[in-house]
Structure 1
Amino acid sequence: MQAPPAPPEGAIAAERRGELLLIGINRPAKLNGFTPAMFRQLAEAYTLLEDDPQLHVGVLHAFGNHFTAGLDLPSIAEMMRRGEKAAPFGQVDPYDLGTPGYRRRTKPLVCAVQGITFTLGIELMLAADIVVAADNCRFSQLEVKRGIMATGGATLRMSQRAGLGNAMLHLLTGDEFGSEEALRLNFVQKVVPAGQELQEAERIAKLIAEQAPLAVVATRLNALKAVEKGPHAAMEEFIATQQRLSNSEDAAEGVRSFVEKRPARFSGR
């Protein structure tokens, strides 16, 4: 996909495709290194996905040969020293960490990564729900090589997905690893030939968008609660959530479509 025009500090492109929102990182001349403006626009795109009832699934991707080399440190270092965040308060946090002052995403997000996927890139993909990686990916969580710490979720999610020892191997060395290692560690869910990652991510996103939106959101949030707060906290919601969903128009349509042996036409109500 050809990158749309962008200023030198980069931009985030948001493109509607039916019920999907394609969110594109656009600064290929600088390996898609993130500036404050880009991170602000990324939060705005996530907020658009969350707030627009016509949008059901997001697809995060990048223009050019690489996903992102991470933060553009010269442009963002001063904000880090002051303890400031680039994303405005009140918007959806792309890291989805539940940080006070920021909203959390409820709708699903599929991520496509290729080439260099360093630091911020890994944390953004770990914050997504499903990740498709090109077979040419180069991953590195290399903050320790820069004298700083990963604070976008890697220290939490790497150990959740891969176990503490595997997380420490990559977090404490800042080494570089490839797509097959990322697949082994459950950091990504599929590996495809380079150039096919966005197409496959869109295919998965469209399959999700065909399902009942209320049920998709409820399922995602319950699974996330089980990871973050434990299985018992998630189980406590089963009856109330199922009762709410069973009384929705989509549940009635699900029954009708089953009886009539046809694809369901869900409305999100």
Structure 2
Amino acid sequence: MSESKILTERRGQLFLIGFNRPEKRNAADYELLTQLSLAYGEFERDAELRVAVVYAVGDHFTGGLDLADVVPHVGPDGLDVVPEGGINPWQVDGVQLSKPVVMAVQGTCLTLGIELMLASDIVVAADSATFGQVEVARGILPFGGATIRFARAAGWGNAMRWILTGDTFDASEALRMGLVQEIVPHGQQLERAVALAERIAARAPLAVQATLANARLAVREGDEAAENALGPELVRLMQSEDARIGVEAFLTRSEPRFVGR
């Protein structure tokens, strides 16, 4: 039996999801994409898991799509990589994760890798990272969310500079544009991403998820929709056991241990 192309590991309340096709620079064939979708679905369903960390084995995050393998799977409505129980990792089909994702990227990170970054919440890049949204050089368009999210994250001119030329850019440029939040020496990206994920996982999970949901609501439906949701969400959270734990920890100057209820 062949080794899985996506590795998964539960590490406390974290769920590590790893690209595992290093001999192909982690290029994504159809099997890898479906396994990735299933991993995202598993993360979403498990109430014990609070944060996902997406990374890649080897020196490169991904060389993009393995077009020779993927193209035959493209149907009249595009490419469907979500089997039953999965969630589209790029979240461009109306189904959104309710929990945060932290990414660690290194080396080559093309096309779908950038779109995973744009669909995640925090990105740590190795100083070796090189990025490219190169679909226009292959005769196709970015179909994992770059046309929707790149300009939102980086500004119109920055996005068009890179997605219309297909040119590559380095980690410093990605940081300048806001596509990544930190740069670390090559080899330290996963350790740093895990550390950030652990910081998030230590916070009240209901509050983290509500904060994430409201921020996304503002992006997708506008300020008014997010503003209207703030009051009811505050009331709901204040009635939770986690809110009681948080207040008690504040009063006793102790470290809270949230339970997600």
TM-score normalized by the length of structure 2 = 0.97
| 2:152 alignment partner in structure 1 | 160
| 2:195 alignment partner in structure 1 | 203
Spell out the pairing of 1:13-28 with structure 2 (5 A cutoff). 13-28=7-22
Q: Does the Cα contact within 8 Å between 1:6 and 1:27 map onto a contact in 2? A: no
Q: State the distance in 1 between where 2:173 and 2:258 align.
A: 38
Q: State the distance in 1 between where 2:191 and 2:223 align.
A: 34
Q: Does the Cα contact within 8 Å between 1:60 and 1:112 map onto a contact in 2? A: yes
| 1:76 alignment partner in structure 2 | 70
**Percent of counterpart pairs with the same letter?**
48
Q: CA deviation at 1:51?
A: 0.7
Q: CA deviation at 1:232?
A: 1.3
Which deviates further from its counterpart, 42-51 or 73-82?
73-82
How many pairs are equivalent?
Answer: 260
Q: Does the Cα contact within 8 Å between 2:125 and 2:182 map onto a contact in 1? A: yes
| 1:95 alignment partner in structure 2 | 90
Q: Cα deviations across residues 159-179 of structure 1 (Å, max 9, x unaligned)? A: 001111111100110001000
> Which segments of 5 or more consecutive residues in structure 1 lack a partner in the other structure?
none
Q: State the distance in 2 between where 1:188 and 1:232 align.
A: 28
Q: CA deviation at 1:91?
A: 2.7
SS at match of 1:236: helix
SS at match of 1:173: coil
Q: Does the Cα contact within 8 Å between 1:93 and 1:105 map onto a contact in 2? A: no
Q: Does the Cα contact within 8 Å between 2:111 and 2:135 map onto a contact in 1? A: yes
| 2:184 alignment partner in structure 1 | 192
Q: State the distance in 2 between where 1:67 and 1:84 align.
A: 21
Q: Cα deviations across residues 78-119 of structure 1 (Å, max 9, x unaligned)? A: 22254231222563220022x15xx32011100000000000
In the alignment, structure 1 residue 36 sits paired with structure 2 residue 20: no
| 1:245 alignment partner in structure 2 | 237
AA of the residue aligned to 2:260: G
AA of the residue aligned to 1:261: R
Q: Does the Cα contact within 8 Å between 1:67 and 1:113 map onto a contact in 2? A: yes
Q: 1:12 aligns with which of 6, 17, 25?
A: 6
Q: State the distance in 1 between where 2:2 and 2:128 align.
A: 25
TM-score normalized by the length of structure 1 = 0.94
Q: Does the Cα contact within 8 Å between 2:39 and 2:86 map onto a contact in 1? A: no
| 2:47 alignment partner in structure 1 | 53
AA of the residue aligned to 1:185: M
| 2:116 alignment partner in structure 1 | 124
| 1:86 alignment partner in structure 2 | 81
RMSD of the TM alignment (CA)? Answer: 1.3
Q: State the distance in 2 between where 1:140 and 1:6 align.
A: 30
AA of the residue aligned to 1:127: A
Q: 1:219 aligns with which of 203, 211, 214?
A: 211
Which consecutive aligned stretches of 4+ in structure 1 deviate over 3 angstroms post-superposition? none
Q: State the distance in 2 between where 1:156 and 1:118 align.
A: 17
SS at match of 1:43: helix
> Which segments of 5 or more consecutive residues in structure 2 lack a partner in the other structure?
none
